[in-house]
């Protein structure tokens, strides 16, 4: 079964349980809650507006970071294929080019699985260091060595950006705001709907489902290399095949 179908089924069940619990609490209170002081609708409307703006801001920011991480992966792979092709015209570069191939293979086979656990592969780290070691063993050839160094530096920078993205892009206080905001929305829904009807049940279900879905989406985007919504290593696979197919 599709993972997203299972996930949203769970969110649906949770939303039904919460909205149903609100309805049951109102009915079991036997009308006593109606005589309590209630939240004014104008006050309640202001709070969800602020909360919705915060959620929207978080989604836009994280989506931008997700696309940046995806772009960085492509740029890292492209820098490596340029390095490989440039080195083909240098004498005695076989060991260097093999080191590049070994690194790309280590990223695909070992590191991407580790990144799904918010970690990096020691093998990939060692392979990348081996590229630099083999680079300094190459014979100097003016412009080609300069081009190799520039593209290796770019690949190193993109790799660092990829590793940094594993740490997530949201600070802990942001998660506190998101969770507290959700609890506050449920609290407000309980007191804003005076009549415990099926209509209020459906409305509350829709609101709770939407907020939970947004919070989950934020959680997924926070770590672009783990979860269900992830950056794939397709750029590295394409580059690897090109390297194997090069004469």
Contacts of 110 (CB under 8 A, 6+ apart): 121, 123, 124
Q: What was the pLDDT predicted at 41? A: 60
pLDDT at 244: 87
Q: How much is the average pLDDT of 68-86?
A: 93
What is the distance between the terminal CA atoms of the chain, rounded to a whole angstrom? 43
What pLDDT sits at residue 43?
Answer: 61
159 pLDDT above the threshold of 90: yes
**Would you say 97 and 87 are in contact if contact means Cβ atoms under 8 Å apart?**
yes
In this predicted structure, what is the pLDDT of residue 79? 94
Residues 6+ apart with CB under 8 A from 30: none
Render pLDDT for 85-137 as a digit per residue (tens, 0 to 9).
988 888 888 999 999 999 999 999 999 999 988 889 999 999 999 999 998 88
The pLDDT > 90 percentage for the chain reads: 43
User: Dihedral, CA atoms, 207, 209, 212, 218, nearest 10 degrees?
Assistant: -90
Mean pLDDT within 53-57: 89
**Prediction pTM value:** 0.82
């Amino acid at each position: 079964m599709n993972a997203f179908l299972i996930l949203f089924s769970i969110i649906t069940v949770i939303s039904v349980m919460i909205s149903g619990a609100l309805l049951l609490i109102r009915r079991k209170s036997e009308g006593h809650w109606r005589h309590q002081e209630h939240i004014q609708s104008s006050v309640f409307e202001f709070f969800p507006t602020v909360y919705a703006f915060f959620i929207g801001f978080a989604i836009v920011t994280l989506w931008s970071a997700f696309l940046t991480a995806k772009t960085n992966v492509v740029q890292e792979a492209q820098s490596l294929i340029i390095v490989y092709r440039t080195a083909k015209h240098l004498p005695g570069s076989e060991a260097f080019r093999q080191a590049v191939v070994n690194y790309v293979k280590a990223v695909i086979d070992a590191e991407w699985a580790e990144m799904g656990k918010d970690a990096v592969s020691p093998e990939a780290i060692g392979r990348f260091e081996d590229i630099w070691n083999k680079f300094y063993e190459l014979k100097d050839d003016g412009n080609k060595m300069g081009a190799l160094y520039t593209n290796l530096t770019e690949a190193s920078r993109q790799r660092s950006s990829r590793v940094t993205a594993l740490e997530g892009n949201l600070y802990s206080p942001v998660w506190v705001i998101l969770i507290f905001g959700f609890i506050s929305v449920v609290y407000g829904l309980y007191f804003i709907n005076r009549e415990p009807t099926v209509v209020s049940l459906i409305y509350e279900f829709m609101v709770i489902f939407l907020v939970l879905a947004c919070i989950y989406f934020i959680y997924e985007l926070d770590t672009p290399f783990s979860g269900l919504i992830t950056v794939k290593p397709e750029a590295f696979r394409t580059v690897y095949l090109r390297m194997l197919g090069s004469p």
